[in-house]
Amino acid sequence: KQMRIIHESGYSEDECIQYKPVVYSNTIQSMLAIIRAMGTLSIEFANPERQDDARQLFSLAGSVEDGSFTPELISIMKRLWQDDTLQQCFQRAREYQLNDSAGYYLFALERIGAPDYVPTQQDVLRTRVKTTGIVETHFVFKDLHFKMFDVGGQRSERKKWIHCF
């Protein structure tokens, strides 16, 4: 994605719009990961009402499947993100698995939750989608033609790599 943004024309507005569900999903999954980690690390919410918000978030998380962030979902996530101990847990992200883009999206909840939201190039760049198979990208830099291969990293994907070499 980065090579496409730097060396090609980046993503069109229509292509960026297609990434909306991925941005929403990454944002929700990041919040859910932090909440799960709070349980693992024995961290309680600073405000006990946030526990109800967390339960609601888990039950509403499936609504992102249709590509929309409901006002209710945004409101819940904003309240959770403002909780002091959730923030402390976020600061301890090295102790559990959290996407590196989590903070980027969670600090931008207001913008991402706007009804007219269109993902930016940076939003698209920071999306995380598991690579399956092999994705080949071509670009030219200083009159040199490059081919870059993005390959799936899971063990089941590795047998496909040999075809790149």
> Checking phi first, is residue 132 left (phi over 0); if not, alpha (psi -120 to 50) or beta?
beta
Task: Give the pair of three-digit tokens for residue 127.
Answer: 């999306």
Annotated binding residues for Mg(2+), written as ranges, equal: 131
CA-closest candidate to residue 131, choices 152, 100, 148, 114: 152
Query: Between helices 84-91 and 20-40, what is the axis angle to 10°?
Result: 90
Distance separating alpha carbons of residues 31 and 56, to the nearest angstrom: 12
Distance separating alpha carbons of residues 84 and 47, to the nearest angstrom: 8
Annotated binding residues, written as ranges, equal: 100-101, 125-131, 150-154
- The number of residues making up the chain comes to 165
58 φ, ψ (degrees, to nearest 5):
-60, -40
Largest pairwise CA distance in the chain = 60
Annotated binding residues for GTP, written as ranges, equal: 100-101, 125-131, 150-154
In 3-state terms, what secondary structure has residue 114?
coil
